[in-house]
Amino acid sequence: NAGVMQNPRHLVRRRGQEARLRCSPMKGHSHVYWYRQLPEEGLKFMVYLQKENIIDESGMPKERFSAEFPKEGPSILRIQQVVRGDSAAYFCASSPSQGRGEQYFGPGTRLTVT
Amino acid sequence: ILNVEQSPQSLHVQEGDSTNFTCSFPSSNFYALHWYRWETAKSPEALFVMTLNGDEKKKGRISATLNTKEGYSYLYIKGSQPEDSATYLCASHRNTDKLIFGTGTRLQVFP
């Protein structure tokens, strides 16, 4: 059973470009969470999605950031018009159901904005 | 407290030493407390999910305790080995599905 997969692992974008980060949850998992780790900081919650629904986006910046988890295919975190402050590691986690259970993390995508 | 706080920030021990670190979390609306182990360049790996006051969990040489009334959890490592070197994260789960993480304790075990 493959774990949570994220791609690309490293992404370099110039200021003003768009970044698309993909997350394929573990097989059978329908809940996806995105977290961001800024330099010298801990993991911060961004958004929680179930298939075709955003459940909680309280941690996501209001502008330029969006997330989706379509019926088919991976979850996508999209950052439009990237700025240097968006440079961070973005981690995706998945779980099989709502509740207290473990969230399984992917290896992360390291975004560098030049 | 409203945030999740971990101490110490970093720890260096000799192989064979036992060690422990602390996680403090908001005790109101408690739902669960998670411990993760995070090695450099890898994904955070779940160690424990703790839900009941007084819970004690063990996995090999690593164990954890939970006090939900006062809002703290301890992680213990008995007889530390170099392969235990990692960052240990705790995360609070409060009646929602998002985890609020501490900044972690970075453990380095020297042979």
Yes or no, beta carbons of A91 and B34 under 8 Å apart:
no
What is the mean predicted confidence (pLDDT) over A33-60? 91
By percentage, how much of chain B surpasses pLDDT 70?
A: 95
Q: Which of B51, B99, B103 sits opposite A103 (nearest CB)?
A: B99
Residue of A nearest to B47 (CA): A102
- Sorting pLDDT into bands at 50, 70 and 90, what band is B7? very high
Quote the pLDDT of residue A68: 96
Yes or no, beta carbons of A45 and B98 under 8 Å apart:
yes
- Sorting pLDDT into bands at 50, 70 and 90, what band is B27? confident
Residues of chain B with Cβ-Cβ distance to A98 below 8 Å are 97
Does residue A1 have a pLDDT over 60? no
What is the mean predicted confidence (pLDDT) over A75-98? 94
d(Cα B111, Cα B106) in Å, to the nearest integer? 16
Quote the pLDDT of residue B28: 85
What lies within 8 Å, CB to CB, of A2 at 6+ separation is: A26, A27
Quote the pLDDT of residue B1: 53
Residue B25 CB coordination number (10 Å): 25
Lowest-pLDDT range, A43-47, A103-107, B38-42? B38-42
